[in-house]
Amino acid sequence: MAVIAMTREMGSGGRDVALGVADACDLTLVHHELVEHHVASRLQMRDSAVHRYLEGGAGILERWRVDEKCLARCTAEQIFELAERGNVIIRGWGAAQLLRGVSHVACVRVCAPMHIRVRRLMERAGLENASVARKEIKSNDAAHARIVRHLFKGDWRDPRFYDIVINTERTSIDDAATLVSRLLRLVSFQETERSRARLATLRARAKKRLSMHGVLDPEETERLHHEHLKHHEFASTREDRDLLL
């Protein structure tokens, strides 16, 4: 099953490239909200708090409360789970750094020169001031660089993490999507028993590290929640119920 780990720069057109590949190859495009919700639920945080942290908008108190090791492990476990499902495009989240060792995963980076990115962001967001667009892009770049560096010990711009790097200054969105689609058809990116086993091993390790860190998986969390409600229902007195809270 096809798996793409894609990194894109803001204003590079990477989102449209991913949409084109997903449509052409019948793949599921994972939006950041899905990963954020999963990670937030595991860490017992609000989705918005996880989003702000990952996008570089968290305040000092929110950053202080985040356990980066636990966040990295939760994110990794979710990325590996999504990759095991297959037929998926995972954008960002350090997916290329995490999945680089799995041979059937195609790691893709979409980029463009700064002046192109500024112009596209201004057009898309209806901005009139180029300096505002440039500031937004630099802030976004810095946030992604920090997350990949701190959580996954990598440089998101390092071409060695990617099988193909596409500059959309001269390559159209349609042509970029075609290039990525062709990459998936190469023998090198076909799933094998060995590559599936490698992915399963990576996920098992991530899951084990989470359990050692005291983070329960979703099924176990749900089971304990229902067990709590069950005991609460049969508590005979208000004092009994209070002890269960």
Split at pLDDT 50, 70, 90, the class of 19 is: very high
Mean pLDDT of the chain: 81
Taking alpha carbons only, the member of 125, 128, 96 closest to residue 111 is: 96
Split at pLDDT 50, 70, 90, the class of 128 is: very high
Residues 154-166 have pLDDT tens digits of 889 999 999 999 9
Split at pLDDT 50, 70, 90, the class of 44 is: confident
Spatial distance between the Cα atoms of 57 and 65, rounded to a whole number of angstroms: 14
SS3 category, 90? strand
**Using alpha carbons only, what angle is made at residue 20 by residues 17 and 25, rounded to the nearest 5 degrees?**
125
Residues 45-64 have pLDDT tens digits of 777 767 666 665 656 555 55
Taking alpha carbons only, the member of 49, 100, 80 closest to residue 203 is: 80
Q: Locate 180 and state its tokens.
A: 């990525």
For 73-85, letters b (16+ CB in 10 Å) and e give bbbbbbbbebbbe
Q: In what order do the strands lie in the sheet with 164-167?
A: 28-30, 88-91, 3-8, 105-111, 164-167
Spatial distance between the Cα atoms of 47 and 34, rounded to a whole number of angstroms: 10
C-beta of residue 94 within 8 angstroms of C-beta of residue 206: no
User: Which helix or strand (DSSP H or E) is residue 28 part of?
Assistant: strand 28-30
Please give the backbone phi and psi of residue 133, each rounded to the nearest 5 degrees, phi first: -65, -45
Please provide the CATH number assigned to the domain covering 3-214: 3.40.50.300
Residue ranges of the domains in the chain?
3-214, 216-245
Q: Burial, 104: exposed, middle or buried (Cβ in 10 Å; 0-12, 13-18, 19+)?
A: buried
Residue, of 177 and 75, whose pLDDT is higher: 177
